[in-house]
Amino acid sequence: MLATRIGATVTSRPYLALGLTFLLLGIGFGFPVRLAPAPPKHIWEDSISNEAINLYALTAFAGWSHFIYAWRGQIVASRKFSSIHRGTYWLTVVVLIAAFVGLRTWLGIAVFSLLAWVYNIAHFVKAEVFFSGTIRTKAAFYSPVVAFGWFTLCLFQVGPLHSIHLVFAGSLAIAALILSMGGWRLLASNEVRLPLLTLFLLGETMVWASYSPYMSDSFRVGVYIFHIAAASFYHYLTAYFYAESANAKNADFMLSPASIILTNLFIILIGLSVAWLPDVRWLRPVFGLEWFTLWVALHLAASDLLPWWKRRLTI
pLDDT digits (tens, 9 = 90+) for 48-88: 999 999 999 999 999 999 999 999 999 988 888 888 988 99
- What pTM was estimated for this model as a whole? 0.91
pLDDT at 5 over 60: no
Q: What number of helices (H) and strands (E) belong to the chain?
A: 12, 2
pLDDT of 270 over the 80 cut: yes
Residue 98 in this model has a pLDDT that exceeds 90? yes
Assess whether pLDDT exceeds 90 at residue 47: no
Q: How far, rounded to the nearest angstrom, does the alpha carbon of residue 289 sit from its chain's CA centroid?
A: 15
Residue 230 has pLDDT above 60, yes or no: yes
Rounded to an integer, the average pLDDT of 165-175 is 96
pLDDT given for residue 4 in this prediction: 38
C-alpha dihedral, 124 to 128 to 130 to 133, nearest 10°: -170
Average pLDDT of the segment spanning 289-300:
95
Percentage of the chain beyond pLDDT 90 is 65
Q: Measure the CA–CA gap between 17 and 24, rounded to whole angstroms.
A: 10
Instruction: Write the Ramachandran bin of 182: left for phi over 0, alpha for psi from -120 to 50, otherwise beta.
Output: left
Q: What is the mean pLDDT of residues 292-310?
A: 91
Q: What is the pLDDT of residue 261?
A: 96
pLDDT recorded at residue 128: 82
The 10s digit of each residue's pLDDT in 99-148 is 999 999 999 998 999 999 999 998 888 888 877 776 555 666 788 999 99
CB count, 10 Å around CB of 42? 13
pLDDT of residue 6: 38
